[in-house]
């Protein structure tokens, strides 16, 4: 629970709580007379994640900037320590699993009051910023915050479906609807896309498992209508859509090198050019920054800040090439590929991860990497018995 709260409010405590998880795992292995470290290596859902760390470490062979490479290695340390911790701490009690998700929902709910309060206090200033492409201030990076918000929102609906107590069921659905509206208020497109996709997958799972086809059709129609209603009724959402359309227009005119969407599209083009130059082994993860800077100057001219490719797939292909990318993504998806009993939470977190990769270099940042890995392993290790959300 300390980890969950720290995701929003303390990067330092995210690191501390991961270290504490390792200490807990070591303490448990000392109590277990049957402990065998090699048993961990044989379990691909867990040990496969070590490949992600290994690929980044080996990319140092192909990197000349050792400090940049070591920084990337440090960012991937959770892939070394958390799989070990969760493997020896499993199985995770279903009640613990439920309360950790409720804790995430609770901290997001509390932070939403802070964000909305700040918006109302400085309405004119923040609204003007949105018109210039800025986002509503959040307790952490607004894109990463929106991703965590999306998962918390969808978790509300899943927990509500699974809940047997009517009082809790109603409360979870009310909170879920509030957070869904809050997603539109923030108007961060990555979070909105993940939220809508997660709700869509949850709806399909519910309709198939419960055979509630009429309810499913009604909710699906509502989901399609809601963005249009939000555009007409929620001013931050309306302004964000307007700015996005203007930004893309600037890119098409060749005037968008200092605007967010234009920069994103330019970063894709630069990444594709670099991949063509070294398709199999890549350029080395430590050398991407100077290469991207040089390529941007050649294609689009100088600017104040040069960004990495805003696409995890392109980023990894550029850094370690096709061979490294195959090993990297195989290791990353091992928990999904080699788990016999897949639950709805595990499927949802992976769908959100895969989709976020299309528009963000998601796991190049410490906190959001820790978030995804923690909930992947939490959902992987939850007790299988009496699991109502099991996917056949």
For 170-187, give the DSSP string: HHHHHHHHHHHHHHHHHT
To the question of pTM greater than 0.75 for the whole model, the response is: yes
| Per-residue pLDDT at 109 | 97
Residue 171 near residue 102 (C-beta atoms within 8 A): no
Give 253's DSSP letter. Answer: T
Return the closest-CA partner of residue 182 out of 221, 142, 217. 142
Q: What string of H, E and C letters represents the secondary structure of 333-370?
A: CHHHHCCCCEEHHHHHHHHHHHHHHHHCCHHHCHHHHH
Q: How many CB atoms lie within 10 A of CB 15?
A: 17
Each residue's pLDDT tens digit in the chain (392 positions)?
Answer: 999 999 999 999 999 999 999 999 888 887 766 667 777 888 899 999 999 999 999 999 888 899 999 999 999 999 999 999 999 888 899 999 999 999 999 999 999 999 999 999 998 888 887 777 678 999 999 999 999 999 999 999 999 999 989 999 999 999 999 999 999 899 888 999 999 999 999 998 988 887 777 777 777 777 788 777 777 787 776 676 776 676 666 656 666 555 567 778 888 999 999 999 999 999 999 999 999 989 888 887 887 777 788 899 999 999 999 999 999 999 999 999 999 888 999 999 999 999 999 989 999 899 999 999 999 999 999 987 544 455 44
Q: How far apart are CA 237 and CA 207, in angstroms?
A: 30
Q: What is the pLDDT of residue 258?
A: 57
**Residue 83 contacts residue 42 (beta carbons within 8 Å):** no
Residue 7: predicted pLDDT: 95
Structure tokens belonging to residue 75: 């960012």
Please, are residues 15 and 374 in contact by the beta-carbon 8 Å criterion?
Answer: no
pLDDT score, position 33: 60
Q: Give Cα separations from 69 to 200, 204, 221 (angstroms).
A: 39, 42, 48
- Report the DSSP beta bridge partners of residue 92: 382
Q: Which two tokens stand for residue 206?
A: 């519910």
pLDDT at 246: 64
What pLDDT is attached to residue 387? 43
Residue 252 is predicted with a pLDDT of 61
């Amino acid at each position: 629970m300390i980890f969950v709260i720290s995701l929003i409010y303390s990067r330092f405590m995210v690191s501390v709580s991961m270290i504490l998880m390792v200490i807990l795992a070591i303490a448990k292995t000392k109590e277990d007379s049957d402990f065998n470290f090699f048993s961990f290596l044989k379990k691909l859902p867990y040990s496969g994640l070590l490949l992600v760390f290994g690929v980044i470490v080996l990319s140092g062979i192909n990197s000349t900037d050792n400090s940049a490479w070591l920084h990337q290695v440090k960012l991937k340390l959770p892939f070394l320590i958390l799989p070990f911790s969760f493997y020896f701490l499993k199985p995770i009690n279903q009640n613990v699993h439920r309360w950790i998700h409720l804790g995430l929902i609770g901290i997001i709910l509390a932070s939403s009051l802070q964000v909305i309060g700040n918006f109302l206090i400085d309405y004119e200033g923040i609204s003007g910023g949105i018109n210039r492409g800025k986002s509503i201030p959040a307790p952490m990076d607004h894109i990463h915050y929106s991703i965590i918000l999306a998962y918390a929102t969808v978790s509300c609906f899943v927990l509500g479906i699974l809940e047997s107590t009517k009082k809790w069921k109603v409360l979870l659905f009310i909170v879920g609807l509030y957070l869904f509206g809050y997603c539109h208020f923030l108007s961060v497109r990555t979070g909105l896309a993940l939220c809508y996709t997660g709700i869509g997958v949850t709806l399909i799972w519910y309709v198939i498992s419960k055979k509630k086809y009429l309810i499913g059709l009604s909710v699906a129609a509502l989901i399609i209508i809601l963005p249009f209603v939000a555009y007409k009724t929620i001013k931050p959402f309306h302004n964000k859509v307007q700015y996005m359309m203007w930004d893309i227009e600037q890119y098409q005119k060749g005037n968008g090198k200092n605007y967010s969407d234009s920069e994103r599209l330019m970063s894709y083009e630069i990444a594709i050019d670099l991949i063509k130059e070294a398709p199999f082994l890549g350029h080395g993860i430590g050398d991407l920054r100077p290469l991207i800077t040089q390529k941007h100057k050649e294609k689009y001219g100088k600017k104040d800040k040069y960004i990495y490719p805003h696409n995890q797939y392109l980023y990894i292909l550029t850094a370690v090439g096709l061979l490294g990318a195959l090993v990297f993504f195989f290791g990353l998806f091992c928990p999904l590929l080699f788990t016999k009993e897949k639950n709805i939470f595990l499927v949802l977190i992976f769908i959100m991860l895969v989709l976020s990769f299309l528009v963000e270099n998601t796991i190049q940042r410490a906190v959001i990497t820790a978030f995804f890995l923690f909930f992947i392993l939490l959902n992987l290790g939850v007790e299988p018995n009496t699991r109502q959300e099991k996917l056949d």
